């Protein structure tokens, strides 16, 4: 009958460790107790004391270690057995190290690749794609202008813009080609527009103004304030060039230069009952660039008063 050990009845007897594993453990114990090893291993006669101390360490843990295992562990430590030696530097080792540490650098690399991909896609969509469509877009805009225009001079203007754009494309001057396209599209929009030129006649807003020109201080230039009214009585923005500044800009109201008699007639019409009876001065038909006026006017204009 086996008497139960101090750990309690039924506690199983610990199985013996494999000799090789135990020898490795001995070496590990010796490394942890480095100062003990440095004192004892250099003196051959004191190796027995070192083995006795090791045996007591393992006995305290309930592990039986044979003299052969202790001897094997001491000799292994001397010979640096069971010691990991890193492989020599090589491409394979570097690749393996990169793979093992991919968790550290992988997210940054993926982020950088994502940014590059976004940049490439944006370049294709915003630059390469539109640039590739530019010749056809130019051709379509030119065709629209020619179809709408009722004046041969406008056809000639459209031809010149298309030729200028094609020359720019051949010279790889995309900016100039796009500028010519913008001019063609603006010409098309002007031709397509239809509206009436109507005198502004609302409370608090001027109906007419006059200017003293710089070149002749004794003269006066007369202007009627007008607006473009499209189908459904919808106010429109139109491109107007100011004779004072030379700038062309989209406006909802502008001063149309008229002769003195027209200016005074409209002023008298308004002062009569506050309502201008004949308030339509001209009409802009599709296919024409400029309105056809029913009053004496040069078509000159101002955009600020």
Residue 8, pLDDT score: 46
pLDDT of 248 over the 60 cut: yes
More confident residue, 190 or 132: 190
Most confident of 95-99, 128-132, 161-165: 161-165
> How many CA atoms, within 13 angstroms, populate the side-chain half-sphere of residue 206?
14
Alpha-carbon gap, residue 30 to 70, rounded angstroms: 11
Task: Parse the chain into domains and list their residue ranges.
Answer: 19-78, 126-192, 195-302
Alpha-carbon gap, residue 270 to 7, rounded angstroms: 120
Which SS3 state, helix, strand or coil, does residue 302 take? strand
**Widest pairwise Cα distance in the chain:** 141
Most confident of 10-24, 127-141, 238-252: 238-252
The residue to which tokens 């004046």 are assigned: 151
> How many CA atoms, within 13 angstroms, populate the side-chain half-sphere of residue 65?
27
The stretch 53-70 carries a mean pLDDT of 74
The stretch 204-228 carries a mean pLDDT of 91
Residue 303, pLDDT score: 96
- Residue pair 252/237 in contact (Cβ under 8 Å)? The answer is yes
Query: Which helix H or strand E contains 29, and what residues bound it?
Result: helix 19-32
Q: Which residues contact 294 (CB under 8 A, 6 or more apart)?
A: 280, 281, 282
Q: Which residues contact 231 (CB under 8 A, 6 or more apart)?
A: 194
Q: Which residues contact 137 (CB under 8 A, 6 or more apart)?
A: 181
- Residue pair 258/223 in contact (Cβ under 8 Å)? The answer is yes
Most confident of 15-24, 87-96, 165-174: 165-174
Q: Which residues contact 250 (CB under 8 A, 6 or more apart)?
A: 237, 238, 239, 240
| DSSP assigned state of 233 | G
| DSSP assigned state of 177 | H
Alpha-carbon gap, residue 133 to 121, rounded angstroms: 17
Query: Which helix H or strand E contains 197, and what residues bound it?
Result: strand 195-199
pTM for the complete prediction?
A: 0.55
Average pLDDT, the chain: 80
The residue to which tokens 């200016």 are assigned: 263
| DSSP assigned state of 291 | P
More confident residue, 11 or 291: 291
pLDDT of 179 over the 60 cut: yes
pLDDT of 3 over the 50 cut: no
Across 9-13, 60-64, 167-171, least confident range = 9-13
Task: Give the residue among 284, 287, 267 at the shortest CA–CA distance from 276.
Answer: 267
Across 4-13, 192-201, 220-229, least confident range = 4-13
The stretch 189-206 carries a mean pLDDT of 93
């Amino acid at each position: 009958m086996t008497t139960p050990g101090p750990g309690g009845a039924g506690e199983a007897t610990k199985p013996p460790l494999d000799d090789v594993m135990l020898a490795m453990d001995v070496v590990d114990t010796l490394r942890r107790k480095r100062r003990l090893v440095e004192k004892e291993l250099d003196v051959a006669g004191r190796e027995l004391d070192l083995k006795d101390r090791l045996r007591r360490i393992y006995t305290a843990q309930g592990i039986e270690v044979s003299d052969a295992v202790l001897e094997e562990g001491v000799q292994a430590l001397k010979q640096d057995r069971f010691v990991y030696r890193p492989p020599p530097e090589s491409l394979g080792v570097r690749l393996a190290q990169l793979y093992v540490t991919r968790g550290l650098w992988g997210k940054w690399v993926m982020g950088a690749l994502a940014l590059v991909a976004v940049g490439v896609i944006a370049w294709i969509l915003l630059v390469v794609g539109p640039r590739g469509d530019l010749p056809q877009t130019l051709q379509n805009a030119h065709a629209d202008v020619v179809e709408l225009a009722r004046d041969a001079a406008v056809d000639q203007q459209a031809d010149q813009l298309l030729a200028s754009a094609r020359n720019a494309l051949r010279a790889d001057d995309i900016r100039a080609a796009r500028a010519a396209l913008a001019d063609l599209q603006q010409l098309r929009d002007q031709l397509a527009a239809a509206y009436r030129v109507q005198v502004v006649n609302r409370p608090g807003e001027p109906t007419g103004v006059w200017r003293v020109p710089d070149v002749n201080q004794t003269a006066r230039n007369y202007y009627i304030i007008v607006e473009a009214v499209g189908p459904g009585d919808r106010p429109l923005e139109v491109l107007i060039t100011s004779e004072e500044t030379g700038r062309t800009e989209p406006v909802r109201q502008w001063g149309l230069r008229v002769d003195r008699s027209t200016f005074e007639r409209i002023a008298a019409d308004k002062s009569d009952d506050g309502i201008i009876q004949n308030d339509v001065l001209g009409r802009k038909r599709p296919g024409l660039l400029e309105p056809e006026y029913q009053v004496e006017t040069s078509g000159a204009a101002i955009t600020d008063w």
